[in-house]
Chains A and B, each alone.
Chain A
Amino acid sequence: MTADESSAEVEVPLTTKPLSSLDLLNAKLYTWSFWKPVMWAVISIVLSLIVSAVIMLLSGYDPLLAYRTLFYGMIIQPDYALYFATPLILTGLSVALAFKCGLFNIGAEGQVYMGSMAAAIVGYAVALPIVIHPLTCLAIGAIAGGLWGFVPGLLKAYRGAHEVVTTMMLSYTAILFTQWLATYPLREPGQVQLTPQLPAILPSAAIPNVVGNYLHWGIALAIVSVFVVAFILNRTVLGYEMRAVGFNRDAAEYAGIDPRRNMALALGLSGALAGLAGAGEILGNYGRFIDHWSPGIGFDGITVAVLGRNHPWGTLLAAIFFGALRSGGTFMNAVAHVPIEMVGVIQGLIVLFVAAPRVNDWLAKSGFGYAIWVKNEPKIAVPNLAALVFGVISSVLALGYCTMKGLGGMFIGLYFLVAIVGAVSFGMTLSKYRRAPFIHVVLCMLWLLTGAVDSLYLGGVSFRTAAVMSIAGFMIAVALFWVRSKMIKEGRCQP
């Protein structure tokens, strides 16, 4: 008996020992469900970089030089990158927090403006001691932004007004309202600038810089906010309830959670984070409220949250990535003369790819499928692979001709058609659609047609390319149809 008791006493601490968060993290690192979203994000970034490279190539920029300077610029100035990342962390958290409760706060921009305006007013109109002043400004800014988010939250919860529409509309309202405040009642007296602005904040309200000319202590605030939001979401009753409502509203209500209260609170908190972002930028960076000061940090917050998959830590990483992209973009603009808006294109593409994670699945599956196919049945797979490559090359070449100057409208239209048919042929061949060979033949005929039109009317600008493409295309077509007839004979393909 005693032996049994003692052995039980030895075993008890082993089985009931509480797992530390480090253990949990360790366990997580070995699960596919943890790595899959990360893989998706990385694949989306890579895909969007590839598409952007094609766009750059077609518009006459050198993508290799551009990406070299972009990555170099991303690495050499970490403080510049963090300076861009500071507001993005907060707006990203704002969007992510609302997302966790099943709400899409698309109007963070308006909450940013309300928060920044409130902070700017307290910053110049109230005299307070040195540390208390910025903290008061930040608190007031957060409250103002929070109220601006709480209103659509209430409307969503109790009147069923869709938050995507109301937050967006209130965002425009806020921008116009702050513009009015800055133009008439609160305009800096005797100001000569064309853009309306408020008087500068008092020196006691300013947030000092950490290092260099850009990075201010707002970054610390942003990182603390990540901790706080992660804590609220994962370790408190409020966060648990919010996540439950976001996961399944009806089930949460059945379990005794009030979804209305939680939704209103979530949008309120989300607005407070956005307001904090605005207040921090005014106190640490701009020094006063200027009409239309924000370079779209509210809207970029959506990008950040989407890439970070609405996880607080993911949001932090995504914000730093986008901040680095922005700082690299200025470097790229200076050295490779690629417009800074190219960064916006990359961002948009990343969001598009992340929006549809099954694209990645589909590409990966098709890619692996092709690799196995080529290995097992090279005679059948290689013509298909050739058709695949042919479609891509056609598309890119034709788009290249589209952007050439001094050609007639008909010629551009014809080549645009070739580009689209090329893309369609690529997609159909990749998904192994059984009529894909016919689309391929149409593509070859279009090449022949453009070549003919070219030599008759335009003096052969692209005659040689068109001839080579159509000959190569028809050779692939012959192989494709040979394979197809063989497969029909074997009964593996419908005629």
Chain B
Amino acid sequence: MMQAIDPNLLLLGWLIRSTLEMSTPLVLAALGGMFSEKSGIVNIGLEGMMLMGAFTAAAVSWYTGNPWLGLLGGIASGGLLAVVHAVACVTFKGNQIVSGTGVILFASGFTTVMLKVVWNAQGASDPVTKIPDVYINPIKDVPILGTAFGQMSPIVYLMFVMVALSYYVLYRTPFGLRVRASGEDPSTLDTAGVNVDHVRFVAVVISGCLAGFGGSYLSISFLGFFGKLMTGGQGFIALAALIFGNWTPIGCLLAGVFFGFLNGFQNTIQILNVPELQLYLNFVKMLPYVLVVVALAGIRKSIPPKAVGTAYEKEAKA
């Protein structure tokens, strides 16, 4: 039945699959960052929230043997860390970037300590139960499609659902309108009788939940274990994707998939093992970072929410 398939076609299928897999955590975390920044709170701590989500998901999955509970745990722990960020930035009007840095430092230290406590391991945990992949049998033997979509983590599909959902929530619901208003012009929102701090608090927690979701994907769906500092800067790339995608859900998706494609491209180069290409692998890795700098420097106009980064202080009663 199987004919000799052109290896280039196989590779193309593999590249598509790899792109989708690599972009999933980026898009999820970028969506998270979008909720927070749309509401006016900078969330540098995405990296830490992803790491926390990855760890908790792996730990819960390991304890209970149920990866779906692990996913819930990962989302909840990301949200919990976001509560800390929200308390510091929204309730107590602290410096958002400093607090985000604190979140990252705390999460890096905490997950590494807990890796030792839970698995008594230095670098990587024991294998944990993974979320089972979704198989689409009818297309299994189709040349490119089969390799690309034949076997895929359900979270990749969920990621697309989350993008659609975020779009709906942000642009079609009253809550979304409030989130956008509190990021653009909080005093007007306040005048309209909405508590700006409540809106921001909820938005930051949603942001943490989504980042935790992305982190969980890494540990219990993509790899099947928790590794020390396993997010490796993906939270910052997600932040870059958010800016590159101009603070919109569709933009986040496109930018996330593009950065995911660069990652997938790297993997493909590594598999191909062509020494001439290998030499320039680092430059491919640099591309997302350099592109963001170039984009910010004015090739394309990016417009952040107006009030982002500033705490909203109610005027004192006269």
Check if A and B associate. yes
- The number of chain A residues with a CB under 8 A from chain B is 57
Interface string of A74-103 (1 = CB under 8 A from B): 000000000000000000000000000000
Most chain A beta carbons < 10 A, residue from B105, B114, B293? B105
Whether A341 contacts B112 by the Cβ 8 Å rule is yes
Whether B99 contacts A356 by the Cβ 8 Å rule is yes
Residue in A closest to B96 when the chains form the complex, CB atoms: A355
Residue from the list B233, B285, B297 in contact with A161, Cβ < 8 A = B297
Whether B60 contacts A409 by the Cβ 8 Å rule is yes
* B105 CB, nearest partner CB in chain A, Å: 3
Report A-chain residues with C-beta under 8 Å of the C-beta of B293.
152, 155, 161, 165-166, 169-170, 173
Report B-chain residues with C-beta under 8 Å of the C-beta of A189.
none
Known: A342-B109, A345-B106, A355-B95. A159 touches B101 (CB 8 A): no
Residue from the list B84, B87, B101, B109 in contact with A341, Cβ < 8 A = B109
- The answer for the CA separation of A359 and B84 in the assembled complex, in Å, is 12
Give the interface size class of chain B: 35 or more
Whether B298 contacts A164 by the Cβ 8 Å rule is no
Residue from the list A165, A176, A350 in contact with B292, Cβ < 8 A = A165
Answer yes or no: A482 CB below 8 A from chain B CBs: no
Known: A59-B113, A345-B110. A356 touches B233 (CB 8 A): no
Report B-chain residues with C-beta under 8 Å of the C-beta of A344.
105-106, 108-109, 112
Answer yes or no: A143 CB below 8 A from chain B CBs: no
Answer yes or no: A347 CB below 8 A from chain B CBs: yes
Answer yes or no: A357 CB below 8 A from chain B CBs: yes
Known: A339-B113, A352-B106. A303 touches B101 (CB 8 A): yes
Q: Is chain A's binding surface mostly helix, strand, loop or mixed? A: helix
- The answer for the CA separation of A106 and B105 in the assembled complex, in Å, is 13
Known: A159-B298, A351-B98, A355-B88. A409 touches B64 (CB 8 A): yes
Whether A177 contacts B282 by the Cβ 8 Å rule is yes
Whether B106 contacts A348 by the Cβ 8 Å rule is yes
Report B-chain residues with C-beta under 8 Å of the C-beta of A59.
113-114, 117
Tell me which residues from 90 to 107 in chain B have a Cβ below 8 Å from any Cβ of chain A: 92-95, 97-99, 101-107
* A336 CB, nearest partner CB in chain B, Å: 13
Whether B296 contacts A161 by the Cβ 8 Å rule is yes
* A218 CB, nearest partner CB in chain B, Å: 24
Answer yes or no: B12 CB below 8 A from chain A CBs: no
Whether A339 contacts B84 by the Cβ 8 Å rule is no
Answer yes or no: A447 CB below 8 A from chain B CBs: no
Report B-chain residues with C-beta under 8 Å of the C-beta of A180.
282-283
Residue ranges of B at the interface with A (Cβ–Cβ < 8 Å): 42, 44, 60, 63-64, 66, 69, 80, 84, 87-89, 92-95, 97-99, 101-110, 112-114, 116-117, 233, 236, 239-240, 243, 279, 282-283, 285-286, 289-290, 292-293, 296-298, 304
**Listed A/B pairs (18) with beta-carbon separation below 8 Å:** A55-B110, A59-B117, A159-B298, A160-B298, A165-B240, A166-B296, A169-B240, A173-B290, A302-B101, A303-B105, A339-B116, A341-B113, A344-B106, A346-B109, A348-B103, A348-B110, A356-B87, A356-B89
| 10 interchain residue pairs of minimum CB distance | A344-B109, A356-B94, A348-B106, A348-B105, A351-B102, A352-B102, A409-B64, A161-B296, A345-B109, A355-B99
Residue ranges of A at the interface with B (Cβ–Cβ < 8 Å): 55, 59-60, 104, 106, 152, 155, 159-162, 164-166, 168-170, 172-173, 176-177, 179-180, 183-184, 299, 302-303, 306, 339, 341-359, 362, 403, 405, 408-409, 412-413, 420
